[in-house]
């Protein structure tokens, strides 16, 4: 039975079947023995309790056999796991970012995407980064799951061996919209992948500020239509006064270029009243000055 889409699938599935098989065998066996003992040694059949002395042969057997079984499980687990940490030198290297609540990818030529596109039968290495909290990068079809640790370094690699489109999920509860943290990986034949890789991003008439916001998951928390999500909506805020909490003290501020820039760089400095502090991380080293300008220009258009 083949349902995996990477070269790791076989090893992982094999160890899963072995461990599940041994567990089911013991579950059934122990339950059967328990039922047998309950019947055989109940008070009616066995009115007088007897003390059973030790049995060396039995003790050796129930020590040696489980030890062997555990070592068998370890062996298959290890054989499935070891190749996952041994990256071939010719792997394509891609940066993967997790943040509340979005995955994004950066290719060697600077191409930025929301979902992963990879070639068939070629090793691909992902550097795993987090911009805020712990996330877990999970591709069930590839049998891969690795943590994205803020401030830490981690990686994974794979070789996809079945064309198709597969889910990418976050497998570490990372806050309110964790379940929306979805992406996908598309496996293409090498020529199609190369054509996709070389293709410059299509030029659209999208506002550059909107592009920046989409790339940085701003819109996961801030709506454009006035609806309240995690953070305040961007609709109609520019040029208006808003009540914020600064060091515990409420005050009125004008939403202008300076206020928006400060909110992007130090999100904790003035938190709009009624919203929680600490959910947004600083984008000081993520966005360039130009990108912040674009964002401000775009917010101005949301009347
Ligand atoms: Cu997450």
* Cα of 178 from ligand 1 centre, angstroms: 5
Q: How far, in Å, are 218, 284, 292 from residue 287 at the CA level?
A: 12, 6, 6
DSSP 54: P
Q: How many CB atoms lie within 10 A of CB 189?
A: 12
In the predicted structure, residue 177 carries a pLDDT above the cut 80: yes
* Cα of 17 from ligand 1 centre, angstroms: 29
* Cα of 239 from ligand 1 centre, angstroms: 34
Please report the beta strands in 216-268, taking only residues with DSSP state E, as ranges in sequence order: 241-246, 249-254
* Cα of 196 from ligand 1 centre, angstroms: 27
List the domains of the chain with CATH numbers: 9-85 (1.10.287), 92-198 (2.60.40.420), 208-301 (1.10.760.10)
Q: Give the tens place of pLDDT for each residue, 234-261.
A: 888 888 888 888 888 888 888 888 889 9
- Residues paired with 97 in a beta bridge: 104, 129
User: Do 125 and 158 meet the contact criterion of CB atoms below 8 Å apart?
Assistant: no
* CA gap 12, 299 in Å, rounded: 48
* Cα of 9 from ligand 1 centre, angstroms: 23
Q: Give the tens place of pLDDT for each residue, 187-228.
A: 999 999 999 988 876 667 788 888 888 878 788 888 888 888
* Cα of 27 from ligand 1 centre, angstroms: 35
Q: Give the tens place of pLDDT for each residue, 62-81.
A: 999 999 999 999 999 998 89
CA nearest neighbour of 222 among 237, 204, 207, 203? 237
* Cα of 175 from ligand 1 centre, angstroms: 7
Please report the beta strands in 140-240, taking only residues with DSSP state E, as ranges in sequence order: 144-148, 154-159, 164-170, 182-188
* Cα of 150 from ligand 1 centre, angstroms: 11
């Amino acid at each position: 039975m083949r349902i995996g889409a990477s070269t790791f699938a076989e090893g992982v599935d094999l160890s899963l079947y072995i461990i599940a098989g041994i567990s089911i065998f013991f579950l059934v066996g122990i339950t059967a023995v328990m039922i047998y003992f309950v019947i055989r040694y109940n008070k009616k059949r066995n009115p007088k309790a007897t003390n059973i002395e030790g049995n060396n042969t039995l003790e050796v057997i129930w020590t040696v056999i489980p030890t062997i079984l555990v070592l068998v499980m370890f062996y298959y687990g290890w054989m499935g796991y070891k190749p996952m940490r041994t990256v071939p030198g010719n792997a394509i290297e891609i940066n993967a970012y997790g943040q509340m609540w979005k995955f994004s990818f950066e290719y060697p030529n600077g191409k930025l995407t929301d979902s992963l596109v990879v070639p068939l039968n070629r090793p691909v290495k992902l550097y795993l980064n987090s911009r805020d909290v712990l996330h877990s990068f999970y591709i069930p079809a590839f049998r891969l799951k690795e943590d994205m640790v803020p401030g830490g370094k981690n990686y994974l690699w794979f070789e996809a061996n079945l064309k198709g489109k597969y889910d990418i999920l976050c497998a570490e509860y990372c806050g309110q919209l964790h379940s929306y943290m979805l992406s996908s990986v598309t496996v293409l034949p090498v020529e199609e992948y190369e054509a996709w890789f070389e293709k410059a991003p299509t030029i659209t008439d999208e506002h550059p500020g909107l592009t920046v916001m989409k790339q940085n998951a701003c819109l996961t928390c801030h709506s454009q239509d006035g609806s309240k999500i995690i953070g305040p909506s961007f609709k109609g805020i520019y040029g208006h006064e808003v009540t914020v909490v600064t060091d515990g003290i409420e005050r009125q501020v004008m939403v202008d270029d300076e206020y928006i820039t400060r909110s992007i760089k130090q999100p904790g400095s003035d938190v709009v009243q009624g919203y929680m502090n600490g959910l947004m991380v600083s984008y000081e080293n993520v966005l360039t000055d130009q990108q912040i300008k674009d964002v401000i220009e775009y917010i101005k258009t949301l009347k």
